[in-house]
Amino acid sequence: MLVAPNAFKGSCSARVAGAAIARGVLEVWPDARPVILPMADGGDGFLAALVTTSQGAVTRHRVPGPLGASRLAALGWLGGPGPRTAVIELARACGLAGIGTPTPATSLAAGTEGAGALIRAALDRGAARILVGVGGSASTDGGAGLLRALGLRCLDAHGRPLPPGGGALAALARVDRTGLDPRLGRVAIAVAADVRSPLLGPRGAAAVYGPQKGADPLAVRRLEAGLARWAQLLGGRGGLRPATPGAGAAGGTAFGLAAGLGAQIASGADVVAEAVGLDRRLRSADWVLTGEGRLDLPTLVGKAPGLVAERAVRFGVPCVVLAGSLDPRAERWLARRGVAVLALGDGPRALDAAVRTTAGDLRRAAARACRLWGASPAGSGR
């Protein structure tokens, strides 16, 4: 039995979710041996999944939060052989959780300077490789703040530096790269994206995710205009275009890292799956339980539970997805592929109430899944 959930945002980490699911399994099958494998996809839990699996370490650094106020943020270091590798979870420095109550004003002002400060801290400590998980951001600044923290200058038509935030980018007249930290040319940077959204357009960073960060229609239009101007003046390396899948991740931060620093954009779920040995675990499993707070169509294209379900199908392992809330379209898509879906709780509830009881709901849902879908698993999962 493999238990491989994502974090349930705002309520419990992937490890806590996994422990709750395992308790539910053991209530029904006391002799089962559930293996807990916390998953992530660039957002919540990305750093913990990689550092824990590699028996690495964490250092803490004071960096600017999404609206500039100083905060402590973790910087991970992978253990084991190979190049010294730093792991950054953008949300820990400048994530939406650092905003409080998002508003149109905060959506325009929020920036990514904190993530840039973590990259600088990694360079100071000799990193040869940097993995940046870019889910859960509060900003839509295209990574401009991150690059500013590393020495890039964003100037208006009068040669004055722009203020932080994506709302200012529409006034961008010139990008000056001459002050970028020269050490950046000596490190490999990979972006672990949790979505495949492009930078611009109706499926892009501002249109789709801006409202989640407090943007109203006027703010979305302003952010879209700023990102378009940013893409025009920053340019791109290696044929990168704003339409590149994943370029819109974290309010376009993935685009900024790739266009500004030559970083490679990869699926965060794939990065974590490789690091934790998901395929190897699935080959020896007879059943798998995964899940996250909201199961919708984006879950199926880039999120960890979608990847777990897809690979379970590939290996012929029965899979159940547990979710706090369900989009029927995603449920039908999974059902056509033989993947079962089970919602937490017994009916509609207020979000704050559901968040408070997530661990208990997961335990009960896992027990219910075991009762609904067949006999106790046999073989290596027992």
Residue 355 pLDDT: 64
Residue 357 pLDDT: 86
Which of the four pLDDT bands, split at 50, 70 and 90, describes residue 238?
low
Span 126-137, pLDDT tens digits:
999 999 999 889
Residue in 201, 139, 202, 205 with CA at minimum distance from that of residue 167: 139
Tokens of 224: 């879209």
Task: Report phi then psi at 60, rounded to 5.
Answer: -125, 140
Mean pLDDT (whole number) for 242-254: 94
Mean pLDDT (whole number) for 348-365: 76
Question: Is residue 96 within 8 Å of residue 102, measured between CB atoms?
Answer: yes
Between 355 and 297, residue with greater pLDDT: 297
Which of the four pLDDT bands, split at 50, 70 and 90, describes residue 303?
confident
Distance of CA 357 to the CA centre of its chain: 23
HEC readout, the chain: CEECCCCECCCECHHHHHHHHHHHHHHHCCCCCCEECCCCCCCCCHHHHHHHHCCCEEEEEEEECCCCCEEEEEEEECCCCCCCEEEEEHHHHHEHHHCCCCCHHHHHHCCCHHHHHHHHHHHHCCCCEEEEECCCECCCCCCHHHHHHCCCEEECCCCCECCCCHHHHHHCCEEECCCCCHHHHHCEEEEEECCCCCCCCCCCHHHHHCHHHCCCHHHHHHHHHHHHHHHHHHCCCCCCCCCCCCCCHHHHHHHHHHHHHCCEEEEHHHHHHHHHCHHHHHHCCCCEEEEEEEECHHHHCCCHHHHHHHHHHHCCCCEEEEEEEECHHHHHHHHHCCCEEEECCCCCCCHHHHHHCHHHHHHHHHHHHHHHCCCCCCHHHC
Residue 130 pLDDT: 97
Share of the chain above pLDDT 70, in %: 94
Across-strand partners of 153? 176
Span 33-63, pLDDT tens digits:
999 999 998 888 899 999 988 999 999 999 9
Lowest mean pLDDT among 7-11, 102-106, 358-362: 7-11
Question: Is residue 169 within 8 Å of residue 141, measured between CB atoms?
Answer: yes
Residue 381 pLDDT: 38
Mean pLDDT (whole number) for 313-339: 94
Task: Report phi then psi at 319, rounded to 5.
Answer: -135, 140
Residue 191 CB partners (closer than 8 Å, separation 6+): 132, 134, 246, 249, 253, 254, 257, 258, 263, 264, 265, 266
Query: Can you list the domains of the chain with their CATH numbers?
Result: 2-37+277-381 (3.40.50.10350), 46-269 (3.90.1510.10)
Between 73 and 236, residue with greater pLDDT: 73
The letter for the amino acid at 221 is: R
In this predicted structure, the answer to whether residue 246 has a pLDDT above a threshold of 70 is yes
In this predicted structure, the answer to whether residue 353 has a pLDDT above a threshold of 80 is no
Largest CA distance in the chain: 72
Between 25 and 237, residue with greater pLDDT: 25
Residue 377 pLDDT: 43
Span 162-211, pLDDT tens digits:
999 999 999 999 999 999 999 999 999 999 998 889 999 999 999 999 99
Report the distance separating Cα 294 and Cα 300, nearest Å.
11
Residue 114 CB partners (closer than 8 Å, separation 6+): 63, 64, 65, 66, 71, 73, 93, 94, 145, 149
Residue 10 pLDDT: 75
Average confidence score pLDDT of the chain: 91
pTM of the model: 0.86
Residue 352 pLDDT: 60
